[in-house]
Structure 1
Amino acid sequence: MTWVTAIALAVICFALAVLIFRPGRSVWASLAAALTFGLVGYAVQASPDMASAPKEAAAGPDAGQYDIVGARREFIGDNERSRADAMYQADAYAARGRYSEAATILSGITSANAGDFEAWIALGNALAEHADGVLTAPALYAYNQARMVKPDHVAPSYFLGVSLVRQGRLAEAQQIWRGAYDAAPEGAPGRAALGERLERIDGMLGAMGGLPAQHSAPPTE
């Protein structure tokens, strides 16, 4: 691991903690200090030029992975839920970190019903998690399909932004979230939650030196 990578990971960890786990602003300074101390410890003890050894990733909820099932339910109203019985099985796989199996089930649901909004969101999330948070072409396709079903819904843009944050593309996530928030009707499902995240990323980017909001065009296909 190089120094650039170590610093980038620290910034991404800070962003994820603030935007996803939502600590209060009073915790931000402590979190930043903890990451700084971690970098200091890395500087003292680590060997950044030493090749890393492969390690099998831990699986399941105890590994601390992002709760994609709980997050999805926060952004989707009760009347927008999928009626597919197989969603329960897909969620059970996803909750245990078995994203490939979840994606296979969800692909079957969306193939049978292309208008199943929640299933498209769940599929995009499972595909992104299977790629360790990277926004792959199949995940982006799933989010775009969900957007076609409900063009003004904030959920596709929110989860697209989460993947961008996890890649350190904070300004792009900010741009996408701002557009979705402004386009959604007042009181729409997930709009208030997105507004909270947007406020946090605005504050974070300001604290980091005012990175430009228009960093680059958001992915569209």
Structure 2
Amino acid sequence: MSWIAVVALAVGAFLVAAFVLRVNRAGWTVLGAALLFGLTGYALQGSPNQPASPGEAQEQNDVDGELLVEARREFFDTTQFPSRWIVTGDSYVRRGDFEAASGFYRNAVEEAPKDREAWLALGIALVEHADGRLTPAALEAFERAQLLDQANGGPRYFLGLAWLRSGEIERTRELWREAIESAPVDAPWRESLSQRLARLDEILRPQAVETPEN
């Protein structure tokens, strides 16, 4: 693994913690320090250019399944239970088994092609199963969810997260702004998404450098 990949992994972990696991601003310093400490230790003892030994790879998942389900449910009426396929799929997401969850979500969209939450859940699970990569199947699922409800911010939010994890920051900002602009004024998730967009801008905003006058 190269140093670029190591640093990218650390940045990705920070972004996931801040926007998926919703670590508050007060915890950013601690989280950043922990990641920096880990990188320092790796610099001293690690071998970033050494190929991995066979059989040593372990499946790692930085996303808490329970919080992932809760984040998705924020965009829907929590007084109504989703379909039985979604409920079962969610149980596998909580265990971190995104492949199995994807199968149940596919059953949900086959049974009810207009179930917007099922399409969104499928897109999220496919991204996580691909270790954060936005696959064509996941992109299609997000697009189907959005077409079924243009005012719902869920598809744009989670699609934006996928782009963020790929380093496409401007795409993320554009999607989140579109979600906020398209949202009903009384949407319960609108303010939360606005805060996350502001938090993203704050993290990535370059420090202003004052040029001394001659």
Shorter chain as denominator, the TM-score bin is 0.7 to 0.9
Q: Deviations over 1:57-81 (max 9, x none)?
A: 26xxxx6533232221122223675
| Unaligned residue ranges in structure 1 (runs of 5+) | 210-221
Name 1:155's counterpart in structure 2.
154
1:76–1:189 CA contact under 8 A, matched in 2: no
- Residue 164 of structure 1 deviates from its aligned partner by 1.7
2:99–2:129 CA contact under 8 A, matched in 1: yes
Secondary structure at the counterpart of residue 50 of structure 1: coil
- Residue 107 of structure 1 deviates from its aligned partner by 1.4
Cα distance in 1 for partners of 2:143, 2:186 equals 23
Q: Deviations over 1:162-213 (max 9, x none)?
A: 212222333321221112112212121422221121111111111578xxxx
* Total equivalences in the alignment: 204
2:75–2:152 CA contact under 8 A, matched in 1: no
Greater displacement, 152-161 / 163-172: 163-172
Name 2:198's counterpart in structure 1.
199
Q: Are 1:55 and 2:54 matched, yes or no?
A: no
Name 1:2's counterpart in structure 2.
2
Alpha-carbon spacing, 1:21–1:65, altered in 2? closer, same or farther (3 Å): closer
| Unaligned residue ranges in structure 2 (runs of 5+) | 209-214
Cα distance in 1 for partners of 2:145, 2:79 equals 15
Cα distance in 2 for partners of 1:64, 1:25 equals 19
Pairwise mapping of residues 8-47 of structure 1 onto structure 2 (< 5 A)?
8-47=8-47
Cα distance in 2 for partners of 1:48, 1:27 equals 28
Q: Are 1:106 and 2:108 matched, yes or no?
A: no
Larger Rg: 2
Q: Are 1:65 and 2:63 matched, yes or no?
A: yes
Cα distance in 2 for partners of 1:96, 1:23 equals 21
Secondary structure at the counterpart of residue 63 of structure 2: coil
Greater displacement, 88-97 / 148-157: 88-97
Alpha-carbon spacing, 1:162–1:56, altered in 2? closer, same or farther (3 Å): same
Letter in 2 for 1:175: E
Using CA pairs under 8 Å that are at least 6 residues apart, name the structure with larger relative contact order, 1 or 2.
1
Cα distance in 2 for partners of 1:188, 1:201 equals 21
Pairwise mapping of residues 83-162 of structure 1 onto structure 2 (< 5 A)?
84-162=83-161
Cα distance in 1 for partners of 2:5, 2:88 equals 37
TM-score normalised by length of structure 2: 0.85
Alpha-carbon spacing, 1:38–1:123, altered in 2? closer, same or farther (3 Å): same
Cα distance in 1 for partners of 2:113, 2:207 equals 41
Cα distance in 1 for partners of 2:80, 2:144 equals 15
Q: Deviations over 1:98-132 (max 9, x none)?
A: 22222222212212221111111111111111111
1:16–1:165 CA contact under 8 A, matched in 2: no
Alpha-carbon spacing, 1:29–1:96, altered in 2? closer, same or farther (3 Å): closer
For the aligned residues, what is the CA RMSD?
A: 2.1
